[in-house]
Amino acid sequence: MLSHNGPGGWARRHFLAALAAGPAGAAAAQPLAAHLPEVMARPGGADLPYGLPAPQESYVERTLSTTAGFPVWRTPLQHQRGIITPSGLHFAVHHNGVPDIDPARHVLRLHGLVNKPLRFDLEGLMRYPMVSRVHFLECAGNSAANALSPTALDQTLGDIAGEVSCSEWTGVPLAYLLNEAGLKDGAQWVVAEGADGGSHSRSLPLKALLQDGMVALFQNGERLRPSQGYPMRLFMPGWEGNVNVKWLHRLEVTDAPAYTKDESGLYTQVLADGRIERFAFHMEVKSVITHPSGQQRLPEPHGFYEIAGLAWSGRGRIVRVDVSVDGGRSWAAAQLHGPVLDRAFTRFTLPWQWSGRRADLMSRATDEHGRTQPLRSEWKRRYALHSFNHYNAVQAWRVQPDGRVENVYA
Amino acid sequence: MLSHNGPGGWARRHFLAALAAGPAGAAAAQPLAAHLPEVMARPGGADLPYGLPAPQESYVERTLSTTAGFPVWRTPLQHQRGIITPSGLHFAVHHNGVPDIDPARHVLRLHGLVNKPLRFDLEGLMRYPMVSRVHFLECAGNSAANALSPTALDQTLGDIAGEVSCSEWTGVPLAYLLNEAGLKDGAQWVVAEGADGGSHSRSLPLKALLQDGMVALFQNGERLRPSQGYPMRLFMPGWEGNVNVKWLHRLEVTDAPAYTKDESGLYTQVLADGRIERFAFHMEVKSVITHPSGQQRLPEPHGFYEIAGLAWSGRGRIVRVDVSVDGGRSWAAAQLHGPVLDRAFTRFTLPWQWSGRRADLMSRATDEHGRTQPLRSEWKRRYALHSFNHYNAVQAWRVQPDGRVENVYA
C-alpha cells in the first residue's frame, strides 16, 4: 500500500501527469504581458523595523485552552514546516500569568549549600560565556486529551499535541555559576523558583544541572520573550516543560528535593498499580505526522502526497521513524532530514500515493537508545486511568474517502 | 596578550573574584522575603495568540538606510546570540517596495526551453516534497561603507554589516519542477522574475539551480513574510541576496543570460584593472565579532570578557576562525559552536582578559575549501576604487581605554 517511489518514481509521474492535464496544467503560449499580475503595475508598500507575518497568514496562531484551570497556549504544529518554531508561536503554559519584569531590577540569587552565595543581575550574567543549542521543549501534559478521553477527539494537531515547540536557546551553562559559588558537602539538589505570582518552583538533581543546565537568555537569536520567561529562564534539554522555570530568580542548592506544590501534585504520575512516579523528568521519544493531520482535507481523492512530520526524544537523537498508512499492519522507514540534532525536532517525510480509500496514517519514532513509541493501548496499560503526563503513544490519523483527516485511536 | 584560559582558568578566576567583591557580589544572609521582587505579589498578565518581544527590547529592530536610493533594512547583529536570526529582524533590500500579493491568485510560471510549460498555484506547490535547510543570506553590497569610505565610520555592527541573516528555509527543490517540465537541448540558464513593480530579475546557471535551488515557502517554520517574498521566493544557498528573487512568479529556461538591468548594473563588480566581474554569485568567507562591537561599551576597564561572533561562507562549512586582540600581530583559534552547517552562520567564541589598554579586535574565518578572509588593504587592491560588492575583508574593532568600541581599518 505504501509507495516507495521517490519523486522520480511512478507515483510522482502519475501525480504530475494529472497536474499537467488539470486546471493547473500548462497554458498555451500567450504574450507574457497577459500573465503579468496586476500587483506588478504599481510600486510596493513599506516595510517595518520589526517584521510580521503576512495578514493572510493571521490564522496561524497559538490556540488558547483553559480547560486545565490555567491558560495553555498551543503551537499550531499543523502549519509548521521545518524544525524551528517561530518564537511567536512557541507553546506556553502559565500557572500564574505573565509577570511584567523590569530587567534592570531583576536579580538571580544562588544560595543554599554553597561556599559563597551569589547574586547576578542581567548585565553581569550577560558577560559570562554562553552556549547555543537547538532543543525542543514539551509540556509534561502534552497530548493529555489523547490519554484521557475515551474516544478520540476530532481536533487539529495543534490542539491535540501542540504543547511542544523547538528553538535555538542561548545562555550561560549552570555549571559555571554553581562552580563559582562552590558546592558544599551534601549538595545534591537545586530548587529553582520563578518570579511569578505563584512562585512556581521545582527541585532538580544537581548532577544533571551541572551537566546540561543553562540559564537561557536568548531564544532564536533574540532575547527571551515575556511568555518564555523574560529576562531569564532555566533550561534543561529534554526535560518536561515546567522544570524549565520561567522568570528564574532563585536557585537554592539543597541536600534533598523540596517537594514543592508544583512537583508533589500536578506533575506526578500514577502508575497502573497505584505507585507514584515522581521526578520523571525526561520527555520520551515521540512523533507526529503534521501533513496530513487532524481536520486537514486532501484536495483530491487520488494522487501523490508527501507525508511529513516531526519526531523528538528527551533522551537523545532520533535515528528512525517508521510510517504506516494501513493502521500499523505494515511500516516503511521515513526519510530523516538534517540536521538531526540531540533532543531537537527532527523532520521526516515519506512519499505516498493515496488510493482514495480510507487510510490510517501512523508514525513511530525510535531514538539512539533504542527507545520507541508505544501504541496507545500499551501506554494505557502502564499508567492509572486518570494519568496523562508524558503521553507519547503513536498518533494515528484517519484519512476518509472524501479527504478529511481525523484523529483516531488505532 | 590573548588569554587562552577557559572559564576555569586564571582570567576567569580573576574576573569572578572581582565580581564577588563588587556590587554584584554575594549579599549577607537575609530573610528570603526581603528578596522577593514586588512583581511576585500580584498575578501576571495575559499572553497573546502570536507572541512578541518584551517592550523593553523594542530597541532591537532593523535599521533603515536609504542612502543607496532604495530602502535597506539591516539586521542588528550586535544583539543576536545564536545562529538563527528572528524572521522579524531578517535584513531586506527592496528595489520596488513590498508588493501586497494575494496568495490565492499568485501563480508561478515555468516556461522557455522546456518540453511542457507549467503553472503552479500555491495549493499545488504545497503538495510537492519539501526540503529544509539552515542557510545564511547576504546582500552583495553588505559592508559597502567599509569598502568605500576612506575613513572607518563609527557605526554599530548592524549598520556596518547587517545585510546578512540566517534562517531555516523550507521549500520545493527546483530540480523537481525543472525535471517535470522537461529540459530542451540548449537549456543553460534560468531567468527568475519577481512580481514586484520593477520586475526584479536575474539569470542563473541551470546546472547550479538543479543542484541547490529551492522555491522557498517557509522561513523559520512559518510561511515567508511579505518582506521576504511572500508567498514564495527563489533560494540559492550561499549566493548573493538579490538572486534569491522574492515574490517569484516566473522562471524562464534559456540558452544564455538575459543581462537584465539588475545584473548588468548594480550587481556587477569592477576589478582594479578595469575588467568587469559579472555573475559572481557566491558570497565569500566572512566573519564579524558581535560582542564586543561598534558603539558598545565594556562595562569595566579590566576583567574577563567573552569575545563572540558569527562566521559564514557561501562555498561551504566554516572550519576555523582566528581571533586577534592586538590588531593582527598574533592570532588564537576561537571555539566553534555546533551545529556547524553548510553555508550557515557558525557561532564562535574566545575568552579574553582585557588589560584595560587600547585593543584592536579582529576575526578571520576560513572555510572548508581553505578560503580565508583578506585584510582590507588586500581586498582594495583587487577591486576598482568604487567597487563595493562582495566585500569580505577582516572587520576590526578598537576597544578604547574607556571601554568604548569603534570601527577601525586595521
- Return the half-sphere exposure (C-beta side, CA atoms, 13 A cut-off) of residue A170: 26
Amino acid at position B104, single letter: A
B63-271: CATH superfamily? Oxidoreductase, molybdopterin-binding domain (3.90.420.10)
- How do A107-112 and A248-254 pair as beta strands? parallel
CB within 8 Å: B347 and A49? no
Measured between beta carbons, which residues in chain B are less than 8 angstroms from residue A170?
81-82
- How do A222-223 and A214-219 pair as beta strands? antiparallel
Residues of chain B with pLDDT > 70, as a percent, come to 91
pLDDT of residue B294: 98
Residue in A39, A116, A305 closest to B99 by CB = A39
Q: Taking 70 as the threshold, does the pLDDT of residue A262 lie above it?
A: yes
Residue with cell 531537537: A344
By C-alpha distance, the chain B residue nearest A57 is B223
Q: Taking 80 as the threshold, does the pLDDT of residue A267 lie above it?
A: no
Q: Taking 90 as the threshold, does the pLDDT of residue B345 lie above it?
A: yes
Q: Which of A24-33, A98-107, A325-334, B209-218 has the lowest mean pLDDT?
A: A24-33
Classify residue A182 by its DSSP letter: -
Over residues A378-397, the mean pLDDT reads 95
Over residues A317-338, the mean pLDDT reads 97
DSSP A83-149: SPPPGGG--EE-SS-B----TTT-EEEEEESBSS-EEEEHHHHTTS--EEEEEEEE-TTTTHHHHH-
Confidence of residue B28 (pLDDT cuts 50, 70, 90): very low
pLDDT of residue B9: 37
pLDDT of residue A34: 57
In this complex, how many residue pairs, one in chain A and one in chain B, have their CB atoms less than 8 Å apart?
Answer: 326
Residue in B100, B128, B304 closest to A45 by CB = B100
By C-alpha distance, the chain A residue nearest B53 is A225
A208 to chain B, minimum CA–CA distance in Å?
A: 19
Q: Which residues pair with B45 in a beta bridge?
A: A98
Q: What is the pTM of this model?
A: 0.92
What distance lies between CA B313 and its chain's CA centroid?
A: 10
Confidence of residue B26 (pLDDT cuts 50, 70, 90): very low
Q: Is B329 exposed, middle or buried (0-12, 13-18, 19+ CB in 10 A)?
A: exposed
| Euclidean distance between CA atoms A70 and A93, whole angstroms | 7
Classify residue A156 by its DSSP letter: -
CB within 8 Å: A26 and B118? yes
Nearest partner of B90 among B79, B74, B104, B101, judged by Cα: B74
Contacts of B202 (CB under 8 A, 6+ apart): B191, B192, B242, B243, B245, B260, B262, B263, B267
Cβ-based neighbour number of residue B94 at 10 Å: 21
| Euclidean distance between CA atoms B194 and B199, whole angstroms | 5
pLDDT of residue B265: 75
Do B80 and B290 form a contact (C-beta atoms < 8 A)? yes
Q: Which of A229-243, A358-372, B266-280 has the lowest mean pLDDT?
A: B266-280
By C-alpha distance, the chain B residue nearest A125 is B24
Q: Taking 80 as the threshold, does the pLDDT of residue A1 lie above it?
A: no
User: Which pLDDT tens digit goes with each residue over A179-238?
Assistant: 999 999 999 999 999 999 999 999 999 999 999 999 999 999 999 999 999 999 999 999
Do B148 and A62 form a contact (C-beta atoms < 8 A)? no
Q: Which of A26-30, A176-180, B241-245, B358-362 has the lowest mean pLDDT?
A: A26-30
Work out the widest C-alpha separation in chain A, in whole angstroms.
83
pLDDT of residue A13: 42
Count the residues in chain A.
410
Over residues A255-269, the mean pLDDT reads 86
pLDDT of residue B96: 92
Over residues B173-201, the mean pLDDT reads 97
Q: Which residues pair with A222 in a beta bridge?
A: A219
Record: fold of A286-408: Immunoglobulin-like (2.60.40)
Q: Taking 60 as the threshold, does the pLDDT of residue A9 lie above it?
A: no
Q: Taking 60 as the threshold, does the pLDDT of residue A375 lie above it?
A: yes
Nearest partner of A40 among B108, B194, B93, B234, judged by Cα: B194
Cβ-based neighbour number of residue B279 at 10 Å: 15
Q: Taking 70 as the threshold, does the pLDDT of residue A23 lie above it?
A: no
| Euclidean distance between CA atoms B134 and B215, whole angstroms | 14
pLDDT of residue A15: 40
Q: Taking 70 as the threshold, does the pLDDT of residue A32 lie above it?
A: no
3-state secondary structure of A262: helix
Mutate to test the interface with B, among A84, A94, A232, A352 (most CBs of B within 10 A): A84
User: Which pLDDT tens digit goes with each residue over B42-63?
Assistant: 889 999 999 999 999 999 999 9
Measured between beta carbons, which residues in chain B are less than 8 angstroms from residue A123?
299
Nearest partner of B223 among B109, B153, B125, B82, judged by Cα: B125
User: Which pLDDT tens digit goes with each residue over A133-191?
Assistant: 999 999 999 999 999 999 999 999 999 999 999 999 999 999 999 999 999 999 999 99
CB within 8 Å: A39 and B117? no
Domain ranges for chain A: 68-271, 286-408
Amino acid at position B251, single letter: L
Residue in B41, B92, B132 closest to A337 by CB = B132
Measured between beta carbons, which residues in chain A are less than 8 angstroms from residue B193?
none
Mutate to test the interface with B, among A64, A115, A127 (most CBs of B within 10 A): A127
Q: Taking 70 as the threshold, does the pLDDT of residue B21 lie above it?
A: no
pLDDT of residue A265: 75
CB within 8 Å: A49 and B73? yes
Q: Which of A199-213, A268-282, B185-199, B373-387 has the lowest mean pLDDT?
A: A268-282
Over residues A330-353, the mean pLDDT reads 97
3-state secondary structure chain B: CCCCCCCCCHHHHHHHHHHHHCCCCCCCCCCHHHHCCHHHHCCCECCCCCCCCCHHHCCCCCEEECCCCCCEEECCHHHCCCCCCCHHHCCEECCCCECCCCCCCCEEEEEECECCCEEEEHHHHCCCCCEEEEEEEECCCCCHHHHHCCCCCCCCHHHHHCCEEEEEEEEEEHHHHHHHHCECCCCCEEEEEECCCCCCEEEEEHHHHHHHCEEEEEECEEECCHHHCCCCEEECCCECHHHCCCCEEEEEEECCCCCCHHHHCCCCEEECCCCEECCCCECCCEEEEEECCCCCECCCCCEEEEEEEEEECCCCCEEEEEEECECCCCCEECEEECCCCCCCCEEEEEEEEECCCCEEEEEEEEECCCCECCCHHHHHHHECCCCCCCCCCCCEEEECCCCEEEEECC
Which H/E stretch holds residue A401?
none
CB within 8 Å: A86 and B220? yes
A174 to chain B, minimum CA–CA distance in Å?
A: 12
Nearest partner of A404 among A303, A291, A295, judged by Cα: A295
Do B308 and B78 form a contact (C-beta atoms < 8 A)? no
Residue in A40, A120, A224 closest to B197 by CB = A40
| Euclidean distance between CA atoms A276 and A270, whole angstroms | 5
CB within 8 Å: B54 and A249? no
CB within 8 Å: A51 and B225? yes
Query: Mean pLDDT across chain B, nearest whole number?
Result: 91
Do B152 and B146 form a contact (C-beta atoms < 8 A)? yes
Q: Is B58 exposed, middle or buried (0-12, 13-18, 19+ CB in 10 A)?
A: exposed
Mutate to test the interface with B, among A56, A91, A253 (most CBs of B within 10 A): A56
> In CATH, what class is A68-271?
alpha beta
Q: Taking 60 as the threshold, does the pLDDT of residue A20 lie above it?
A: no
Confidence of residue B266 (pLDDT cuts 50, 70, 90): confident
B278 to chain A, minimum CA–CA distance in Å?
A: 27
Do A164 and A138 form a contact (C-beta atoms < 8 A)? yes
pLDDT of residue B14: 37
pLDDT of residue B8: 35
| Euclidean distance between CA atoms B399 and B403, whole angstroms | 6
Q: Which residues pair with A114 in a beta bridge?
A: A183
Residue in A29, A218, A347 closest to B82 by CB = A218
Cell of A345: 525536532
- Phi and psi at residue B342, to the nearest 5°: -65, 125
Q: Which residues pair with A191 in a beta bridge?
A: A203, A252
Q: Which residues pair with A92 in a beta bridge?
A: A73
Residue in A63, A64, A218 closest to B81 by CB = A218
User: Which pLDDT tens digit goes with each residue over B89-134?
Assistant: 999 999 999 999 999 999 999 999 999 999 999 999 999 999 999 9
Do B299 and B318 form a contact (C-beta atoms < 8 A)? no
Query: Mean pLDDT across chain A, nearest whole number?
Result: 91
Measured between beta carbons, which residues in chain A are less than 8 angstroms from residue B70?
none
Cell of B143: 559592508
Q: Are B63-271 and B286-408 equal in CATH topology?
A: no
Q: Taking 60 as the threshold, does the pLDDT of residue B32 lie above it?
A: no
Q: Which of A11-20, B247-256, B372-381 has the lowest mean pLDDT?
A: A11-20
Residue with cell 568605500: B148
